[in-house]
Amino acid sequence: MKRSQVWTGPTVFVVDPDPLTGALTKELLDGSDVGCEAFRSGRDFLAAYRDSRPGCLVLEQRIPDMSGLQLQHRLSASGSILPLVFVTSNPDVSLAVELMRGGAVHVLEKPARSIELLSAIQEAIALDQDRRRAKAHQTKVRDLTASLTRKERQVLELIADGKSIKSMAGELELCVRAIELRRNSLMRKLDIRSSLELMRFAVIAAQESCPESDVEFSPARAAVCA
């Protein structure tokens, strides 16, 4: 890759004061379609990283300016979805548990075996791809929902509650034909071809618009989500 080109594929970011970790990681990834960038401190990494860049983070718990755990908390607080793999010397059980509870994909002990580190990196990158696809889908659902009129959103909310066309008509004090026209308009705008697809979208949209603790599922919603 030429220096003038911008790398857009997944990147393994290494944060470790020991340059051997970065060198080992780069050697493991040599010839693959995954890049590697090494940093000696958490602040250097945070100054350079943007969450739009896919990949994963391989880091030591013991770094000079902040602990790996503190860096994990900083990333989590910022809403980052970057998966973390810890490679650290003599991790005790309580620390390993805390790191895993914080979302670490793996906690490996130094010196990590090459095959073990590569497997952890591959798993973390696959997880990052899944998270980014899910995030893109959530954004698409929110954007599509925002494009609807107030009347169309009313019908969408009632569909999410499992209401029949007749029930919706009664609740909105409209004729059945008017509800059918709104539902058909919804399906055209959302490029949805079946009532089941529309129900699924409606449930997802309801989850996106409400905090998880506030979303009440009717039996109809539960059946679709199962």
Please give the Cα distance from 218 to 216 (Å, whole number). Answer: 7
In the predicted structure, residue 3 carries a pLDDT above the cut 50: no
Per-residue pLDDT tens digits for 45-88: 999 999 899 999 999 998 888 999 999 999 999 999 999 999 98
Mean pLDDT of the chain: 86
Q: What are phi and psi of 39, to 5 degrees?
A: -135, 150
In the predicted structure, residue 43 carries a pLDDT above the cut 90: yes
Quickly tell me which residue has 């954004």 as its tokens. 139
Mean predicted confidence (pLDDT) in 137-156: 89
DSSP 37-63: EEESSHHHHHHH--TTS-EEEEE-S--
**pTM of the shown model:** 0.72
Is residue 68 within 8 Å of residue 45, measured between CB atoms? no
